[in-house]
Amino acid sequence: MTDWSLTLSAPAKINLYLGVHTERDDRGYHRVDSLMAAVSLSDTVTVTPAQALTVQTVPASDFPMQKNTAYRAAIAMAEHYGREANICVTIEKRIPLCAGLGGPSTDAAAVIVALAELWGIDRTDPVLDDIARGIGADVPFFLHASPAFYVGGGDVLATEYPALPATPVVLVKPREASVSTIEAYRRFDEAPVPADEPGAIASALRAGDAETAYALIHNNLGVISAQMEPQIQTVLDWLRKQDGTVAVDVCGSGACSFAICGTAAMAERLADAAQQNGWWSCATEFIPNTVRIEGLISDQFLWHTTEIFVTIVELTGCGSVW
């Protein structure tokens, strides 16, 4: 078996706009308009050869492997392309779960990207979007550029926008807080919260006007989440009272909230203060990429490198190490 190792960066996301509507599509899913942007907080996903498909997380989790989105993504890729996904996937988790940051989705997308790379499949192949969509609504976003607007069930790419500046963002999540997305949608159906129209924020992003876009951030599902989990509202109120925050809202359905900050120092200060309050927190920033291959190491590559070195030594007579 050839030894190789493929390492990928799998970033988190926040919703600059999330509009949930009462209408449903043919699948029974709510119509969702979702404008997402990636941030630098990332999981690291490493893929290596194995006798059979395995997925492990660091730190370890007792969550059933077969239900892990990364495992499901590998199975879906193998079934579609008629290949065997004999790989070991190791996920170094930094993105908190039950946060609305897309952690499981970005990990699944990383596996799709990894197998596409290993099997010689073009990352822009629409089939990959279809496979991603079958894993979860947010997964397709992590195959494309950031920011981007998704429609349908929040899983169909409509528009990609110019990259945002590396604007500082602070993420804050009460450690024990979680929100069931299914329950949040059920409560939304009982008492729908109207969504703002996305046209204005979309136009601002299209024009590259990040400042105006930040002033138009909106999430009508976040209102429901804050009602379900009072700690979310506590965090939102706290963030809105802080000097230097440009915009504050809930990440997806929660339980993490975010604040766009005027400076990186302000984001760091707020993260420190939030941790003093007993909350999980992280200072981060917007990035233009989603899942990215960081490196591929193989014994074949190392063998070729050694061969080139030997040839140079033979031609030059130089025996120095480089």
Question: Is 243 among the residues known to form the active site?
Answer: no
Catalytic site residue from 13, 107, 155, 249: 13
Q: What distance in Å separates the CA atoms of residue 284 and residue 270, rounded to the nearest whole number? A: 11
Query: Within a 13 Å sphere around the CA of 290, how many CA atoms are in the beta-carbon half?
Result: 28
* CB neighbour list of residue 199: distance below 8 Å, 6 or more residues apart: none
ω into 147 cis (within 30 of 0): yes
Task: Judge whether 295 and 203 are in contact, CB under 8 Å.
Answer: no
Query: Catalytic: which of 138, 155, 173, 249?
Result: 138
User: 151 exposed, middle or buried (CB, 10 Å; 0-12, 13-18, 19+)?
Assistant: middle
Burial class (CB in 10 A: 0-12, 13-18, 19+), 32: buried
Among 249, 250, 256, CA closest to 174:
256
* Cα–Cα distance, 222 to 18 (Å, whole number): 8
Which uninterrupted H or E stretch holds 18? strand 4-24
Distances from the Cα of 167 to the Cαs of 139, 185, 211, in angstroms? 23, 31, 10
Question: Is 299 a catalytic site residue?
Answer: no
CA distance linking residue 272 with residue 58, whole number of Å: 24
User: Both ends of the chain: CA-CA distance in Å?
Assistant: 29
Q: How far apart are CA 5 and CA 301, in angstroms?
A: 11
- Cite the DSSP H helix spans in the chain: 69-81, 103-119, 126-135, 181-190, 199-206, 210-215, 220-228, 230-241, 264-276, 299-316
Catalytic residues: 13, 138
